[in-house]
Amino acid sequence: MTAVQGTAVDIPTEDGTADAYLAHPADGAAHPAVLLFMDAFGLRPQLRSMADRLAAEGYTVLVPNVFYRHGRAPLFDLPEFIDPGSRPEIFERIVPVMQDLTNERAMRDAGAYLHWLAESPAVADGPVALTGYCMGARLSLLTAGTYPERVAAAAGFHGGRLATDTPDSPHLVAGKVTAELYFGHADQDHSLPEEQIERLEKALTAAGVRHRCEVYTGAPHGFTQADTAAYHQEGDERHWSALLDLLKRTF
């Protein structure tokens, strides 16, 4: 197993400073970059662990606190094991912060994250890959469509509201995407009903985007997050296999 170095970094943005976690092989060399977009629970040990696992595969991984406008991580008082069913007040704090991160703000930030990676000595020259979880899957798709020249591959897992009927729906960027895309949907996910899955698939196909969208049977929303009640081991292992396959094809 490759030794990994993890550090806290600060990224200047147009609206302030985003705190982030950077993980990369501890060999002093430059490696292909992966920008990992967090879920709504935020930058925490679980996401650092996921970044470390990716870094051990030979990548430089950046996990920004996309909620930085509201403070540095950890932003929410979360238990070690997150069960929103027994702690509904968790979402009472999180939802307004999520809603404050408009597409415009998120994509302005994404440009700053991509610029920071391009300047980092730990990152190899060339485009990057993206992966995102829950709300991060939406950010992954939007970034691929907003910065096509910088993104070679993008993945999203248990993403919600990816193809709504609103004018700011993420699937509407499909025509600008040049990256290869992969989405692993949860089949028990109220935030991504079947009609949205079909709408996303049709949009990507019509735009000629190289992509694969798969529905993970038995997987709930949030299935990759081992520190939550939604964790689904089979779905998580499938997610790692699909993500690493995508990265190997890309780099």
> Of 109, 134, 171, 239, which one is the catalytic site residue?
134
Q: Is 211 designated active site?
A: no
221 is catalytic: yes
How many Å apart are CA 192 and CA 197, to the nearest integer? 7
Residue where the block lists tokens 């993008």: 154
Q: 154: Cβ–Cβ under 8 A, 6 or more apart, which residues? A: 129, 130, 131, 132, 140, 141, 143, 144, 177, 179, 180, 181, 182
Catalytic residue among 31, 158, 171, 221: 221
Q: Cα separation of 49 and 231, whole Å?
A: 15
Report helix angle 233-250 to 45-56, nearest 10.
Answer: 40
Q: Which of 171, 189, 232, 236 is catalytic?
A: 189
Q: Is 189 a catalytic residue?
A: yes
Q: What does the angle CA 141 – CA 151 – CA 99 come to, to the nearest 5 degrees?
A: 35
Catalytic residues: 134, 189, 221
